[in-house]
Structure 1
Amino acid sequence: MKNKTWVFLLIIALTAVLTACGGGESESAEESEETDELKILEVEFEVPETAEVNETVELKAIVTYGEEDVTDADDVTFEIWEQGNEDDSTKIEATNNSDGTYTAETSFEQDGIYEMYAHTNARELHTMPKKSITVGEGASSEAASGTDKAENHANEQDEEAEGFGMNFMEPEDVIIETDTELTVHLQNEGIPLEKAQVRYEIWNDEVSDKHEWTDAEESVPGEYTAAHQFTEVGTYTVQIHVENDEGLHEHEEYPVEVMK
């Protein structure tokens, strides 16, 4: 009888130990998943603020994923255009230096203000920080005139677009570290545009080079919403990217003021 009692107690003890071990493995797995979820693809985009005409300029993207240097990004491409003339941009593929940095060299043939994106694809994520550089004396009166013409042309193109319309409901009284609802209404020829892929790209160059991306959900036909928390006081830029399976690709920028 005593032997049976000891065997019974031993079985209970082993069961408790195995349960504790299993629970520890489960908790470790959950912690690992949470750690993976917290990782963010970040790109520090380094560009000189000024340059002379025909001076060689280095463009550098430093890519990280969490604490890890990304040495195997799928693609890093620099897109460059003269301010006000984004439709006439030039793209330069970056060189992978195998240490988390991606570089390219370029030069500018005339005075002006030039803007550029560092398009970065890695870890199944995409980010595109934006920078600008003033070359020589900056924008001349002729260039400014060209900018006005480019803007007018862009406006004409918008008017001629196939009835596409974007109405961003600019949030009011935005407070830091509080969920802010971002909502945009999309139409095509006066009809709500359904089943589009809508993403909010959010950044504040005075706070960080980091661009955050938030996917929106279609709550009702043509209405796309997402929640976002702003971490610092200041003026943020919210760029809305819209695509669909029929080849539509539109984007517009809006300022958002954030308070304490």
Structure 2
Amino acid sequence: MKKRLWPVVIGIFVLGLAACGKGGSEDSDNDIPEPIDVVLEVQETAEIGETVPFKATVTQGDEKVADADEVEFEIWEEGKKEDSEMIESKNNKDGTYEAEKSFDADGVYTVQVHVTARGLHTMPKKSITVGEGASAEGEDGHHHGEDGEEGHQHSEGFSMHFMKPENPAAGKQTELIVHLQNEDHPMENARVRFEIWNEGSDKHEFVDAKESEQGEYAAHYNFKKAGAYKIQIHVEDDQGLHEHEEHEIEVK
């Protein structure tokens, strides 16, 4: 009698293992976060002095994201990204985030919203023409790229946002973070390096960044002494993309 029970016991054991394996696979799939989607609303034209509203609607799948960690609108005039302005948004608690701004000069401006929510980051952008707009050439007669560097313009669909460190101090480790996006999606598996040098010095140091989250790359650097430093971010991928953007920070 006992011998007849053994096949039944073994069969139940095998089925149990199969069920556990299936359950583990489903759990693994559930660990992959669904991407967040951001719809940015900005009017195409405005008059000087007009109050212009900005609105971002954040969703994850069919769910409205009302608990974003950070939503900020960055605005800059074409060719002058180094002078950009950051405006914090108002959370309407329904998945929408709003801000507003008036412009005091003719020009073509970029409005980019930076959204950090549920461990993900995205940053769509749109353009707005104020007054009579502006020509593609700056006041010095040269074309400037989106990052303010003469002769360089980011590839279409590519964006980078350097999170300038707050109050960096000499002799202490400072975290350097940049967010990358390509075709409205976080850019993964890129090769990112921070080129760092003290203003007036010929010595340049390179620090490789690691991808800490989707589209987010981070590195640490110890500034030896106080002063003005320049940081140029280099981004490459296997498809031949090579982008760079220069920033300046003051170390106390």
Counterpart for residue 201 of structure 1: 181
Matches within 5 A, 1:135-150: 135-139=130-134, 144-145=138-139
Counterpart for residue 44 of structure 1: 39
Counterpart for residue 32 of structure 1: 30
Q: Distance in 1 between matches of 2:122 and 2:141?
A: 27
Q: Does structure 1 residue 250 correspond to structure 2 residue 232? A: yes
Counterpart for residue 188 of structure 2: 214
**C-alpha displacement of 1:101:** 1.4
Q: Which amino acid aligns with 1:56?
A: T
1:153-175 deviation per Cα after TM superposition (whole angstroms, max 9, x unaligned): x659xxxxxxxxxxx9x9xxxxx
Counterpart for residue 89 of structure 2: 94
Greater radius of gyration (CA): 1
Q: Distance in 2 between matches of 1:23 and 1:155?
A: 54
- Percent identity reads 38
Q: Distance in 2 between matches of 1:94 and 1:147?
A: 36
Is the Cα contact below 8 Å between 1:111 and 1:140 reproduced in 2? no
Please give the secondary structure, in 1, of the residue aligned with 2:188: strand
Please give the secondary structure, in 2, of the residue aligned with 1:72: coil
Is the Cα contact below 8 Å between 1:44 and 1:63 reproduced in 2? yes
**C-alpha displacement of 1:214:** 2.0
Please give the secondary structure, in 2, of the residue aligned with 1:109: coil
Choose the corresponding residue for 2:125, options 126, 130, 133.
130
Distance 1:118 1:246, change over 3 A: farther
**TM-score (structure 1 length as normaliser):** 0.58
Distance 1:129 1:197, change over 3 A: same
**C-alpha displacement of 1:52:** 1.4
Q: Which amino acid aligns with 2:106?
A: D
Counterpart for residue 164 of structure 1: none
1:80-119 deviation per Cα after TM superposition (whole angstroms, max 9, x unaligned): 1222222222211011112221111111122221112211
Please give the secondary structure, in 2, of the residue aligned with 1:110: coil
**C-alpha displacement of 1:257:** 10
1:122-143 deviation per Cα after TM superposition (whole angstroms, max 9, x unaligned): 22232222221001111279x9
Is the Cα contact below 8 Å between 1:243 and 1:249 reproduced in 2? no
Q: Which amino acid aligns with 1:32?
A: N
Q: Root-mean-square deviation (CA), in Å?
A: 4.3
Distance 1:108 1:200, change over 3 A: closer
**C-alpha displacement of 1:251:** 4.2
Q: Distance in 1 between matches of 2:126 and 2:235?
A: 15
Counterpart for residue 17 of structure 2: 19
As a proportion of its length, which structure holds more helix? 1
Is the Cα contact below 8 Å between 1:242 and 1:249 reproduced in 2? no
Q: Distance in 1 between matches of 2:143 and 2:12?
A: 80
1:35-94 deviation per Cα after TM superposition (whole angstroms, max 9, x unaligned): x25x22332221111111222211111223344332111111111122222222221101
Please give the secondary structure, in 2, of the residue aligned with 1:7: helix
Name structure 1 gaps, 5 residues minimum. 157-167, 171-195, 204-209, 226-240
Q: Which amino acid aligns with 2:35?
A: I
Q: Distance in 1 between matches of 2:140 and 2:74?
A: 20
1:19-49 deviation per Cα after TM superposition (whole angstroms, max 9, x unaligned): 232233123223323xx25x22332221111
Q: Which amino acid aligns with 1:20?
A: A
